[in-house]
Structure 1
């Protein structure tokens, strides 16, 4: 679907095309829904409506989405929030980083990370944190190339309903 949208918009999927990508914060549900085709690649277990509902709840808690777009087509996005913790002080926590699979490998993920690192510094953060699934090896390489280090384990306990 996204491939057809890109072709319809006259976007050719070449690395130099990504030079003209613009970065914008998602501020309303119209643009949020335009992010759904990309987010669904990272969160296939969610429906579009569940995605919107979670965004509404997270937005009230300070969650923001930085999108990378060409025209009206979202090519990538980063969902994040600012937290203050006892362990690390003020940090930018990266919940979601997604680049559409049709443009992966062209540096867009690194550009989004650079934007977030700059924003974190502007906001007085000392670090950027994220969790990543063990099976996301390509993402691990992107994070390592961008200076991230594996230094924690994230544990989860599922409560009975």
Structure 2
């Protein structure tokens, strides 16, 4: 197993089959465009956990500053291949991000998770020590 920063367009494309398990609403063209834009303008980073040159899990995150959390890392995306779940890969990636936050002098890592993702919630709370602190609200505008 190795951790790999995903920065080149061909590597971003190679991660798509895994990422679309979480972000199934995105086609590959839109996914590559959004990742590239987020990397260029929003400090978004992708790190993949690779097994024999194949991505088995990926995390997308960015450094942020808000009045609520101060300086922190926001986890935007975290997915482990459906066939590879419950092997500790998500834990490895979150631990990596938590260490990066500590190295930067940040004391918080935050994320949101879909309301119906009960197994993910149990993982975050019971295995990683995350707390539910708020609800995220969304409204589509035209």
TM norm. shorter chain > 0.5: yes
Determine the C-alpha separation between the residues in 1 that align with 2:33 and 2:96: 26
Q: Which runs of 5+ in 2 are unaligned?
A: none
Picking from 49, 56, 68, the partner of 1:75 is 56
Partner of 2:132: 150
State the TM-score, normalizing by the size of structure 1. Answer: 0.85
State the TM-score, normalizing by the size of structure 2. Answer: 0.96
The structure 1 segments of at least 4 consecutive aligned residues displaced by more than 4 Å after TM superposition are: none
Partner of 1:28: 8
Determine the C-alpha separation between the residues in 2 that align with 1:30 and 1:70: 18
SS at match of 2:71: strand
- How many residues end up aligned between the 2 structures? 140
- Following superposition, the deviation at residue 71 of structure 1 comes to 2.5
Check if 1:133 corresponds to 2:114.
yes
Give the superposed CA RMSD: 0.8
Partner of 1:159: 141
Q: Which runs of 5+ in 1 are unaligned?
A: 1-20
Partner of 1:98: 79
